[in-house]
Chains A and B, each alone.
Chain A
Amino acid sequence: DILMTQSPSYLSASVGDRVTIPCRASQFISNFLNWYQQKPGKAPRLLIYGASNLQRGVPSRFSGNGSGTDFTLTITSLQPEDFATYYCQQSYAAPLFTFGGGTKVEI
């Protein structure tokens, strides 16, 4: 199984900050990497697919980068509604699309 690692688990930030969230795969996954946002008590929401493609309806302050094993999700100018937990997920090894442990962005 492909192991996805997200570190740190927690990230402190303020409104207006530029935030970068890293994700690492245990083996090569090309650009088959998705990012999700989850707020407490809610289902995850797809933000980015294919490492850098913005899902419809997602604000342009979200962007993704990376290929191979190292990836990042960047939020430019953090908004109050962006405080949430962010998960990366590999879609390279179907059907077991493993997730990272998540990074919680908090004040």
Chain B
Amino acid sequence: DVQLVESGGGLVKPGGSLRLSCAASGFTFSSETMTWLRQAPGKGLEWISSITSDSIYIYYADSVKGRFTISRDDAKNSLFLQMNGLTAEDTAVYFCAREVTLYGSGTYFNAYAHWGPGSLVTVSS
């Protein structure tokens, strides 16, 4: 079974840093595009960063560009998110997700088929 488990969340002061980890199992991690998303309290879902296999392509949402860094360690089946310069607006549950390609209606589609349970990051003084 596919499993994703985030860790590293917690309470941090404004301007501080935090590093999230996501441990993956049950699939060939090195072959997959992995993604971080977040959900602020009572709000909707926001894509924030993706990294393709072999770290060839890395993408960030404008809201985190220049402050957050996504990385992966394929030998340890792990995904990371280094978060610097945190503000109150970064308070959210952070999810890691596996992007899969699914076939239907005669073509292929991408979707987030597997998610971790999430890790809460609270930015407050």
Q: Residues on A close to B: CB < 8 A?
A: 31-32, 34, 36, 38, 42-46, 49-53, 55, 87, 89, 91, 94-102
Contact = CB atoms under 8 A, between A and B. Distances in A.
Nearest to B96: A43
A34 B107 CA distance: 14
B110 interface: yes
Contact of A51 (B45, B105, B117): B105
B109 A99 contact: no
Contact of A50 (B47, B61, B104): B104
Interface of B: 35, 44-47, 50, 57, 59, 61, 95, 102, 104-105, 107, 109-113, 115-118
Residue with the greatest number of chain B CB neighbours at <10 A, chosen from A49, A55, A94, A101: A49
Nearest to A52: B105
Given A42-B117, A44-B112, A46-B112, A53 B47 contact: no
Q: A-B pairs with the 9 shortest C-beta distances?
A: A53-B104, A43-B115, A50-B109, A95-B59, A99-B45, A49-B111, A50-B104, A34-B111, A95-B50
Given A32-B109, A91-B109, A99-B45, 16 more contacts: A43-B115, A44-B45, A44-B112, A50-B102, A50-B107, A50-B109, A51-B105, A52-B105, A53-B105, A55-B113, A91-B110, A99-B44, A99-B46, A101-B44, A102-B44, A102-B45
Contacts, number: 70
Contacts of B118: 43
A51 B95 CA distance: 23
Contacts of B95: 43-44
Contacts of A87: 44-45
A31 B122 CA distance: 37
Contacts of B112: 34, 36, 44, 46, 89, 97
A100 B44 contact: yes
B109 A34 contact: yes
A1 to B, nearest CB: 9
Nearest to B104: A53
Contacts of B59: 95-96
